[in-house]
Chains A and B, each alone.
Chain A
Amino acid sequence: LEAEESNSNGFQHSQAKKADSVRQTKLKAVKDEDDDVENLLREEEEYEEKTDLSADTMGALKWKEDLTQKAAEAFLRQQRSTPNLRKLVYGTAVEDEDHESDNADDELGGLFRVSRPDKESKQKANALDCSKFLIEKPQDWDLEEVMSSIRDCFVTGKWEDDK
């Protein structure tokens, strides 16, 4: 039995490594020059180790089930995670300001300037100043499943165990 277990352990590691390497290449392909890649990868490895541990301690072979799917999920989770949101908010701020392009080639005969229609960024700069957060795609609240998506936000819904 012990031999079998060690065998399975070895197998597990090779599998995990394979999945890991696949993921790494995937990651590299997606965000090449992203400075967060290293960070992501480190977290990724930690995550992998944790699952390994739990599999060992439990003694079950559950970890082997749909490894690729787990890998895909982990990848997606990392894609959606925090650094991206922070970058979305703070990363692009510099580009918006002072994007003046008084190009010389816009001039006709050195006297007149071609006035191009406003670009999207310029329109945003002069857009309506309003704090309301409009809903772009309203959901169909007559549907039962849409309604159930907020069911537990009310006192009439299900409560957590600790309350």
Chain B
Amino acid sequence: MAGEAQSLGYTGCNFLRQRLVLATLSGRPLKIRKIRAKEEDPGLRDFEASFIRLIDKVTNGSRIEINQTGTTLYYQPGLLYGGSLEHDCSPSRGIGYYLESLLCLAPFMKHPLKIVLRGVTNDQVDPSVDVLKATALPLLKKFGIDGESLEIKINRRGMPPKGGGEILFACPVRKVLQPIQFTDPGKIKRIRGTAYLVTRDSVNLTDSENCKIVDESKAQKCRYSVRVSPQMANRMVESARGILNKFLPDIYIYTDHMKGASSGKSPGFGMCLTAETINGTVLSAELASNPQGQGAAVLPEELGQNCAKLLLEEIYRGGCVDSTNQSLALLLMTLGQRDVSKVLLGPLSPYTIEFLRHLRSFFQIMFKIETKTPEEEHMGGEKVLMTCVGIGFSNLSKTIR
């Protein structure tokens, strides 16, 4: 990865992660200007600073320069090094924010990456660790990145605002990636999920702001169920099942109640659902309760129902890859061997569209994009078929034994 390559310039803090990831993989220097330049609180935020530190940790020889106000960032990528690491993620974003980028980089390290991340495992903004575990790992396997060492393990759950969760992510390295032909998602055979509940100390929770409900009887119920915690997870499960059972009998939603040592610093609850097809596609949806002390309280029944409906929306969009993992699939297709890769996606998310543009500027690769209307009537919305020829990226720093 030579340093002479021409540097790329961007403005604004949006898409910071994909820019840094692509700069690292392509070896091209990057300059981002005007990061929140006109806002009252200009410059990089703590979670972005934490992300940059993480990139610095997994690479060797990166040069990072940030000006005094934090509005300009210069990044000259080093080599992806990997190894056993740990990182404290900022609690203002979920661990998913960091993990998504690590999933893009991990297969191309010199040494297999094994990293402990601490922070918020489930929040309302970023894809949760549960969802990434259920969707991204099967996707990596399709590209030939698998083995026993590929895992995401949730040691402790942490909810916003304080976090306190901990996960382990381990990924093997590969020299080359397999091209994929993934155009038939197949039919959904089962739905799995997790209804999780994080409580620290049940006595504290009774008067927590999490149960700020006007209706006194509901408030009583809520308080009661927070105290008798497993009940609350069951209520989420029952309401979600009520909707999903109209489509499929094979539904199992685990209840995961973490308390005491295995729970984080803030209480909360939520649900993740995944729909698995016969061809190994995993579609997902998730919802989390409002952070403690922010917004109105959410009833577990309501959350379960809404989460189930979100899953139905995701199924309507369809495709072979979940909407949050579109960009990961496209990246791995780009970096594959010099062969044709095809994947059928649902409608492209704004994040993915921007990612496609970045792929063009960093790797000079453009996808063939075709819309496909499902042949059968009851198969959801329009799909997009993405085709490209891989650039034949090979991981030269991988040690050969």
Q: Is A114 an interface residue (CB 8 A)?
A: no
Q: Is B130 an interface residue (CB 8 A)?
A: no
> Are A155 and B9 in contact, with the CB atoms below 8 A?
no
**CA A138 to CA B125, docked complex, whole Å:** 18
> Are A148 and B378 in contact, with the CB atoms below 8 A?
yes
Q: Provide the residues of chain A in CB contact with B246, threshold 8 Å.
A: 147
**CA A93 to CA B316, docked complex, whole Å:** 29
- Interface size on B, as a range, is 35 or more
Interface SS majority for chain A: loop
Q: Provide the residues of chain B in CB contact with A157, threshold 8 Å.
A: 187, 378
The one of B34, B310, B352 that contacts A135, using a Cβ cutoff of 8 Å: B310
Q: Is B15 an interface residue (CB 8 A)?
A: yes
How far is the CB of B186 from the nearest CB of chain A, in Å? 9
The one of A82, A90, A93, A150 that contacts B371, using a Cβ cutoff of 8 Å: A82
**CA A4 to CA B35, docked complex, whole Å:** 75
Q: Provide the residues of chain B in CB contact with A25, threshold 8 Å.
A: none
> Are B17 and A129 in contact, with the CB atoms below 8 A?
yes
How far is the CB of A95 from the nearest CB of chain B, in Å? 11
Q: Provide the residues of chain A in CB contact with B309, threshold 8 Å.
A: 138, 141
Number of interface residues of A (CB under 8 A): 42
Q: Is B46 an interface residue (CB 8 A)?
A: no
- A127 nearest CB neighbor, chain B only: B14
Q: Provide the residues of chain A in CB contact with B159, threshold 8 Å.
A: none
> Are B356 and A89 in contact, with the CB atoms below 8 A?
yes
> Are A122 and B369 in contact, with the CB atoms below 8 A?
no
How far is the CB of A122 from the nearest CB of chain B, in Å? 7
Q: Is A130 an interface residue (CB 8 A)?
A: yes
20 new A-B pairs (CB below 8 Å) besides A80-B371, A125-B14, A132-B125?
Answer: A82-B371, A89-B367, A90-B357, A90-B360, A97-B10, A118-B38, A126-B13, A129-B97, A131-B100, A133-B350, A133-B351, A138-B309, A149-B380, A152-B187, A152-B378, A153-B315, A153-B379, A155-B188, A156-B249, A159-B187
* 6 closest Cβ pairs, A-B complex: A125-B12, A133-B349, A133-B323, A152-B378, A151-B378, A93-B357
Interface residues of A (CB under 8 A from B): 80-82, 85-86, 88-90, 93, 97-98, 115, 118, 122, 124-133, 135, 138-139, 141, 147-160
